[in-house]
Structure 1
Amino acid sequence: MENSYPQYITKEAIEMLDEKLNLAVRDKYSQDWQYEVSDPSRVSEFILFYEDAILNNEEKFALMSLIISSLDDALEEGYEISGLWGKISHHLVNEIKIHYNTIQYWALLEEDLDNCFAVTPLIRDVAKKYLL
């Protein structure tokens, strides 16, 4: 599959999402934005913003990375996620060219599930159906 869509989260996408979603303030040395501002209690809010806001591909890519990171935290912390995964997977599949790299990253197809993220089994299902 040709991958002409985002591979990295851009500064511009981060700044827009930080402002619109009132995300945590980070210092100038911050890295891995999606992990630093991840919030398992806001997954539904992030999904609604994804669905309702007018976003470019870079913003969608960044926001989906945040959504999945937050969902991973929610799974780790025992939050109820019923209904959320269906919405997330719908967007991953419908805009697979934008989220191809995100799916690849979280699926960890080369790893044993013992060494993976909590969300990896869910993402692997999408990867196996639509990427392989």
Structure 2
Amino acid sequence: MENVYPEYVTKSAIEGLVKKIKLPAPDEFSQDWEYEVSDSSRITEFLYAYENIELNVDEKFALMIIIISSFNDAIVERKAEENSASLIRYHLLQDISIHKNTIYYWSMLDEDDLENCHAVTSFMREIAYVAKLDSQD
């Protein structure tokens, strides 16, 4: 049976995370809610929720995008912590069946110039390398 990796944040995942970890609900103008609610000061809290709250696959997918976006902001703000990096790496690899598309997105494997990438791209490329994701399948 072929793996089906989540590609999009669903409405039900947003509703679940709003309820379960007290994230702001999207308003009528929200387009990329998962990026709008990212918050570098909440990475530890988000990781705790990922590990300890009962989440379905779509909620885990959405929450990990929020975590990585928040970690990206922390790198830009020079506040990224190695402990957070280790936990993010662990969960991405542990739940690769959920996060494969997220790893591809943030690792930007088709871009040669890191200046044109996210702050978190080199970190995500290490994970893609470990997971042997050198091209999108």
TM-score range for the pair, normalised by the shorter chain length? over 0.9
Match of 2:122 in 1: 121
Structure 2 portions without partners, runs of 5+ = none
Structure 1 portions without partners, runs of 5+ = none
Deviation of the 1:29 alpha carbon: 2.1
Which stretch shifts more, 74-83 or 4-13? 74-83
The structure-2 alpha-carbon separation of the partners of 1:69 and 1:109, relative to structure 1 and needing over 3 Å to count, comes to: same
Deviation of the 1:26 alpha carbon: 3.2
Q: Is the contact made by 1:3 and 1:100 (CA closer than 8 Å) also made in structure 2?
A: no
Instruction: Give RMSD over aligned pairs.
Output: 1.2
Amino acid at match of 2:100: Y
* Counterpart-to-counterpart distance in 2, 1:97 and 1:30: 28
Amino acid at match of 2:93: V
Other structure's SS at 1:23 match: coil
Alignment partner of 1:14 is 2:19: no
* Counterpart-to-counterpart distance in 2, 1:64 and 1:42: 13
Which stretch shifts more, 42-51 or 13-22? 13-22
Give the TM-score of the pair, scaled to structure 1: 0.94
Other structure's SS at 2:82 match: coil
* Counterpart-to-counterpart distance in 1, 2:70 and 2:80: 13
Deviation of the 1:3 alpha carbon: 4.3
Other structure's SS at 1:26 match: coil
Q: Is the contact made by 2:15 and 2:25 (CA closer than 8 Å) also made in structure 1?
A: no
Q: Is the contact made by 1:10 and 1:58 (CA closer than 8 Å) also made in structure 2?
A: yes
> Matched residues, percent identical?
51
Give the length in aligned residue pairs.
Answer: 131
Q: Is the contact made by 1:38 and 1:70 (CA closer than 8 Å) also made in structure 2?
A: yes
Give the TM-score of the pair, scaled to structure 2: 0.90
Match of 1:60 in 2: 60
Q: Is the contact made by 2:71 and 2:80 (CA closer than 8 Å) also made in structure 1?
A: no
Which stretch shifts more, 59-68 or 20-29? 20-29
